[in-house]
Chains A and B, each alone.
Chain A
Amino acid sequence: MVMGAAAVEPSRADAAWAVLSGVMDPEIPVVSVVDLGIVREVREEGGELEVIITPTYTGCPATKQIEFDVRLALDKGGFEDAALSIALAPAWSTDWITEKGRAELKAFGIAPPEGAATSKRELFSGDRNVQCPHCGARDTEMVSEFGSTACKSLWRCRSCREPFDYFKCI
């Protein structure tokens, strides 16, 4: 946080955050990389800006695309001089998805992660009764632990009979 003069008018960091809020996830184009918790920090020191992002899953094929999209948005938004770094630690968690992000996932037809990320090794302990993003029913069942991407599992609703993706807790 920059104190003093910068507190009066919006800082460059705030302006950069605004630009980054417009960068959508390539796989889920309705949720921004900010709301997914991928942008960790915008650091401002001595007029120098550094944007820090973190990958979600280690093998996520969208990681490169996200990096590219963030760079492009920064360049177009007048932040050509901002440095872009990738930080592995702390490890990304679904706990970082914002309330706004969760609402947008649901509106897009993807059930947002429910509850906090905890250990997932106990057999047949898959998240129970995930709420169907289509009809809101909780009479749902998991079809497969891995959905269209590693970050999602595949579910079906017994009430409206529709299939849906659930964003897994990690």
Chain B
Amino acid sequence: MRNKAESPLFETCLRLGDTALILGQRLAEWSSKAPNVELDIALSNQALDLIGQARLFLDYAGRVEGKGRDEDALAYHRLDHEFRNFMIAELPNGDFAHTMVRQLFFGTFAHLLFEDMRKSSDAEFAAIAAKAEKEMAYHARHSGEWTVRLGDGTEESHERAQAAVNALWPYVHELFTVDAVDQEMIDAGVLPDAGVLKASWQADIEAVLARATLSVPEDDWQPEGGKSGRHTEHLSYLLAEMQVLPRAYPDAKW
């Protein structure tokens, strides 16, 4: 049976840590196959930033939980329904435009979130946010510049970038939802209210899309569920690859 009695702080650590971990794993899939060597390095470095952030959040999650699970146990020995990442992180990379637009959408959100979270009443969250905020600013800028180059580029790059914006737009909704767990953390001053960040996010993204000659989609369907463990089928395949070694050889060291 699923344990419904986990603490909101543990749950929040998982949401932030899992999102960073899964997106980091996705970006790492670009290693050796990005459009050019500079982008290969850039995407691998951004994957490293995210995995670094994931380690901090999952290590903290393990200590909050107090059942002896460390960051590796949480990353490698949980099943798909136990992951709490936003679904936008687990979606397949698609083409380069999809990867850049997702990085812009998520990076801008994460930067705004961490900027506020530096003032968290939880000292550990505040410390992680102060570091992650600086890193995510670079991700948002890098992907923003590429969104402009692609959108305001050739006919094909424009079409692909617009297709990416349209495909990813529904998944943005989940970033700004506030459920009971979030509300408890917001009331305790631990977590910024994502709902309040939406307006800044929208303004920033609209400015980038305008510069990229891309149009802002109409709000349509709004899938959600990742935060409570209901994921797309894509997550299971990603986990199968990410977890295979520690599951096959639980004591492996290298």
In the complex, A150 Cα to B51 Cα: how many Å? 13
Tally A-B pairs: CB < 8 A.
97
List, in ascending order, chain A residues with CB within 8 A of B52's CB: 57-60
Number of A residues with CB within 8 Å of any CB on chain B: 30
The secondary structure that dominates the A interface is: loop
The answer to whether B134 touches A145, judged by C-beta atoms less than 8 angstroms apart, is no
CB distance from A21 to the nearest CB of B (A): 25
How does the 8 Å CB contact mask read for B42-64 relative to A, with 1 for contact and 0 for none? 10011111111101100000000
- At the interface, yes or no: B78 with Cβ under 8 Å from chain A? no
The answer to whether B46 touches A146, judged by C-beta atoms less than 8 angstroms apart, is yes
List, in ascending order, chain B residues with CB within 8 A of A170's CB: 134-135, 138
Closest chain A residue, CB of each to CB of B123: A89
Q: Which of B97-137 contact A (CB under 8 A)?
A: 108, 111, 123-124, 126-128, 130-132, 134-135, 137
The answer to whether B137 touches A58, judged by C-beta atoms less than 8 angstroms apart, is no
CB distance from B189 to the nearest CB of A (A): 17
The secondary structure that dominates the B interface is: helix
- At the interface, yes or no: B151 with Cβ under 8 Å from chain A? no
Q: Which of A132-153 contact B (CB under 8 A)?
A: 143-150
CB distance from A65 to the nearest CB of B (A): 15
Which of B130, B141, B208 makes the CB contact (< 8 A) with A145? B141
The answer to whether B45 touches A91, judged by C-beta atoms less than 8 angstroms apart, is no
The answer to whether B126 touches A146, judged by C-beta atoms less than 8 angstroms apart, is no
CB distance from A18 to the nearest CB of B (A): 29
Closest chain B residue, CB of each to CB of A90: B130
Closest chain A residue, CB of each to CB of B24: A59
List, in ascending order, chain A residues with CB within 8 A of B41's CB: 144, 146-148, 154
List, in ascending order, chain A residues with CB within 8 A of B140's CB: 121
The answer to whether A91 touches B131, judged by C-beta atoms less than 8 angstroms apart, is yes
In the complex, A125 Cα to B138 Cα: how many Å? 11
The answer to whether A146 touches B142, judged by C-beta atoms less than 8 angstroms apart, is yes
In the complex, A124 Cα to B36 Cα: how many Å? 20
Closest chain B residue, CB of each to CB of A168: B138
The answer to whether B141 touches A58, judged by C-beta atoms less than 8 angstroms apart, is no
- At the interface, yes or no: B145 with Cβ under 8 Å from chain A? yes
In the complex, A74 Cα to B140 Cα: how many Å? 40
The answer to whether A58 touches B42, judged by C-beta atoms less than 8 angstroms apart, is no
CB distance from B37 to the nearest CB of A (A): 9
- At the interface, yes or no: A22 with Cβ under 8 Å from chain B? no
**B46, B134, B137, B144: most-surrounded residue (chain A CB, <10 A):** B134
Q: A91-B127, A148-B41 are in contact. Are A59 and B53 (CB under 8 A)?
A: yes
In the complex, A121 Cα to B41 Cα: how many Å? 20
Which of A58, A117, A123 makes the CB contact (< 8 A) with B55? A58
In the complex, A64 Cα to B144 Cα: how many Å? 32
CB distance from B115 to the nearest CB of A (A): 9
Which of B48, B131, B135 makes the CB contact (< 8 A) with A88? B131
List, in ascending order, chain B residues with CB within 8 A of A166's CB: none
The answer to whether A150 touches B145, judged by C-beta atoms less than 8 angstroms apart, is no
Q: A59-B51, A123-B145 are in contact. Are A89 and B130 (CB under 8 A)?
A: yes
In the complex, A144 Cα to B145 Cα: how many Å? 11
CB distance from A57 to the nearest CB of B (A): 6
List, in ascending order, chain A residues with CB within 8 A of B47's CB: 59
The answer to whether B128 touches A59, judged by C-beta atoms less than 8 angstroms apart, is no
CB distance from A60 to the nearest CB of B (A): 7
A-B contact pairs, 19 of them (CB 8 A): A57-B48, A58-B55, A58-B56, A58-B132, A59-B52, A59-B135, A60-B48, A88-B130, A91-B127, A91-B131, A121-B111, A123-B148, A145-B142, A147-B41, A148-B41, A149-B45, A150-B49, A150-B135, A168-B138
Those 8 A-B pairs whose CB atoms lie nearest each other, nearest first: A59-B52, A58-B52, A59-B48, A144-B38, A89-B127, A146-B42, A88-B127, A91-B130
Extra contacts besides A150-B49, A168-B138 (10): CB < 8 Å = A58-B128, A59-B52, A88-B124, A88-B127, A92-B131, A121-B137, A121-B144, A123-B208, A146-B138, A149-B45
